[in-house]
Every structure is written in C-alpha cells, then in structure tokens.
C-alpha cells in the first residue's frame, strides 16, 4: 500500500469545482434508462433503443467526449464492459486520462436478496476481488466503487422488526470494509457507498436516524480493517425525506440535517464526501448540494458523484440519434456546470 498515492488520488477526485460522473450502470440498468427516454423532438416514449455493448459505448462516448468535460469532472466510474472498450483508438481509461480525468471502476456484483431477511439486500462480489482489482489497475483504473443499499420500512408483517435490521447493516458494513481494504492494498482509492434509499414514505427524521446508525457501523468496520481514511472517499445519500413522504422539506432543511449528521459520525480524516443523487431530480440534487455547501464548519470537501442527475437531461436530448449528439452534450455540460457551481458555493 502506497499511502501517498492513495491520498493524492483521493484529493484529485475532490479537487475544487469538480466531481465524479457515475457512468457505471450495468447493461440491465442502461436498458431501463433507454426505455424511459423522452424524445424531446417528438415527445415519444419507448423509442426501441436496445442496450448492447456498441450502443452503450455510443451513449457513453457522447458524454465522455463532450468538449470541456474536464472542467467539471475529476473522475468517471466505469462498468466492466466499458473499461474494456475503446474510444477513438484509445482504451477508455487512456481516453479519460488524456483529458486529465481519472478512470475508476465499479467492482461489486450487485445487490441480492438477503437470506432470511425479507425486503433487505446484501451486496456480493468479494470472491476473486483481489485478482480483479489488479486486472483493473493494469487497465488504468485509479479508484473503485462498491455500493450497499438500505431500505427503510416499518410496515412489515406482524412479528418482524422494521428494516433495515442490525444484521443487514452489520453484514453490509463488513463487506464494505473488506472491499476498501483490498482496494487500498492495490493502491486504488475505495469509494465506500452506503446508500439509505429514498424509496418509501419515511420522513426526514427517520432518514437521519438510519443514516446515522449505518455510518457509525460502517466506520467502525473500516477502523477494524485498518482502512486509511485519508485514502478513501465516502459516497453517501443526503439526509432527505422518502419519495412518498407526505412531508417534503426544503433544501435548507436537507442541508442542515445532512451536515449535522455527518459532523456527528464521519471522521474528519476522510478525504472527501461525494454525494449520490439517489433518485432526486437534477434540480433537486443540485439545489440540495448547493445548500449543503452553504453551511460552514465541514472539515471535508463536499462534492458529488452523480449518475442520473448528471445524465438524465442529456439522455433525453440524445434519444439514440447521432444528429442529436451536439444538443445532448450541451445539456450534459450545462448540468455539469450547475453542479460544479453548487459545490463551489462558499459558506455564509
């Protein structure tokens, strides 16, 4: 483990005015995105675009080749399929590095039903991870990402406790820590992503309670596995009401709850926090990030690692048509600039 390399990479990923593009959707998830494209030229849905390696690369090239992307994007999280592909005669990793952007890789194998715990998920992918990390490093990856998800639900059948259960939190936290330790062994910066999902009708207070509990356990396990905090990044949810909650709160309330929670449970040594958008609209995610950065007292860089919130508008503008690429790139860069400005706001 080269601690200096880890620190330098982590700091580069949270460089001022920049953030991370999460372009690591699986083929199945890309198909879902394609199925929901709204063709802005005709207002037609279900345009019949199929997720294939070639189509996926065409879509991602549209984003990655956008002129000036490096002004706003410090790193890109890639899917296994993508890191093995090429753009303009270069590997995707080398193409990104030629722009001064760090290539990263999603290394988990997805979330699966947790045995004996209805409604809960466990993330798999530790088998063979050490070898896969070395392969990805040889392909040019500088960092990695692993996602764990936690669902809030108090409405389970009689005799079952609400979720997430302690067992689910502890199991996923242990896996996250093992993944992070293996990454650092390979000199790859681990992005640790414990996501408390927005799905459900829970309120802000419940999200804060679960987020606090989850992060405490995650950092306890990271410490136990001797993960160097200065050489990792945290990719968490914002503290926010569930999508179906009858009480939706303001960006200011989201920001205050989020920053207060993180000050309570996230060690100051962590190099940076790169928030996920988690199903928020592009405007919601951007506004909430701006409000978070307006609050003083945070010891970390408060940045972003957005997927849909950065890509959604560009995807609709593109709609699978080559002639729409300039308009799609324009939409992507406009959103990236807005998000960059949101993380660049100085505290009041």
DSSP state letters, 279-307: T--HHHHHHHHHHHHTSS---SEEEEEES
Burial of 42 (0-12, 13-18, 19+ CB in 10 A): exposed
Residue 275: band (very low, low, confident or very high) from pLDDT cuts 50, 70, 90: very high
pLDDT at 281 over 70: yes
Mean pLDDT (whole number) for 17-33? 92
pLDDT of residue 162: 86
Catalytic site residue from 18, 61, 142, 235: 235
pLDDT at 21 over 70: yes
pLDDT at 71 over 80: yes
Specify whether 193 is catalytic.
yes
- State the average pLDDT for the chain: 93
Catalytic site residue from 25, 81, 193, 313: 193
Specify whether 235 is catalytic.
yes
Mean pLDDT (whole number) for 259-274? 97
> Which pTM value belongs to this model?
0.94
Query: pLDDT tens digit string along 81-125?
Result: 999 999 999 999 999 999 999 999 999 999 999 999 999 999 999
Residue 227: band (very low, low, confident or very high) from pLDDT cuts 50, 70, 90: very high
pLDDT of residue 126: 97
Mean pLDDT (whole number) for 184-200? 96
CATH superfamily of domain region 3-344? Aldolase class I (3.20.20.70)
Q: What percent of the chain has pLDDT over 90?
A: 82
pLDDT of residue 43: 55
Residue 37: band (very low, low, confident or very high) from pLDDT cuts 50, 70, 90: confident
Helix extents (H) in the chain: 3-13, 27-35, 53-64, 80-83, 92-98, 129-138, 166-185, 204-224, 251-265, 282-293, 308-318, 325-344
Measured from the Cβ of residue 223, the count of other Cβ atoms closer than 10 Å reads 12
Residue 40: band (very low, low, confident or very high) from pLDDT cuts 50, 70, 90: low
pLDDT of residue 104: 98
């Amino acid at each position: 483990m080269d601690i200096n390399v880890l620190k330098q990479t982590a700091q580069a990923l949270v460089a001022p005015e920049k953030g991370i593009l999460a372009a690591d959707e699986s083929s199945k998830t890309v198909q879902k995105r394609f199925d929901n494209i709204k063709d802005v030229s005709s207002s037609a849905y279900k345009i019949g675009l199929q997720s294939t390696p070639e189509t996926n690369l065409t879509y991602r090239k549209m984003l990655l080749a956008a002129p000036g992307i490096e002004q706003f994007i410090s790193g890109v999280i890639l899917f296994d399929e993508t890191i093995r592909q090429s753009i303009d005669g270069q590997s995707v990793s080398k193409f990104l590095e030629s722009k001064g952007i760090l290539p990263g890789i999603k290394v988990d194998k997805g979330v699966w039903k947790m045995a004996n715990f209805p409604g809960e998920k466990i993330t798999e992918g530790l088998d063979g991870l050490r070898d896969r990390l070395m392969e990805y490093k040889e392909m040019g990856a500088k960092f990695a990402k692993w996602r764990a998800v936690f669902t809030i639900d108090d409405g389970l059948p009689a005799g079952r406790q609400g979720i997430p259960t302690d067992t689910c939190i502890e199991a996923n936290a242990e896996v996250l820590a093992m993944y992070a330790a293996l990454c650092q062994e390979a000199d790859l910066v681990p992005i640790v992503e414990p996501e408390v999902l927005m799905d459900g009708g829970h309120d802000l207070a419940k999200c804060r309670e679960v987020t606090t509990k989850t992060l405490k356990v995650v950092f306890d396990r990271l410490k136990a596995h001797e993960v160097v905090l200065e050489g990792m990044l945290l990719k968490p949810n914002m503290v926010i009401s569930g999508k179906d909650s009858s009480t939706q709160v303001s960006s200011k309330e989201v920001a205050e709850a989020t920053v207060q929670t993180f000050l309570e449970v996230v060690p100051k040594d962590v190099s940076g926090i790169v928030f996920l958008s988690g199903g928020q609209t592009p405007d919601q995610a951007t506004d909430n990030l701006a409000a978070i950065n307006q609050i003083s007292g945070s010891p970390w860089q408060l940045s972003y690692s957005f997927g849909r919130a950065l890509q959604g508008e560009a995807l609709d503008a593109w709609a699978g048509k080559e002639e729409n690429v300039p308009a799609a790139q324009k939409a992507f860069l406009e959103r990236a600039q807005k998000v960059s400005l949101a993380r660049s706001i100085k505290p009041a």
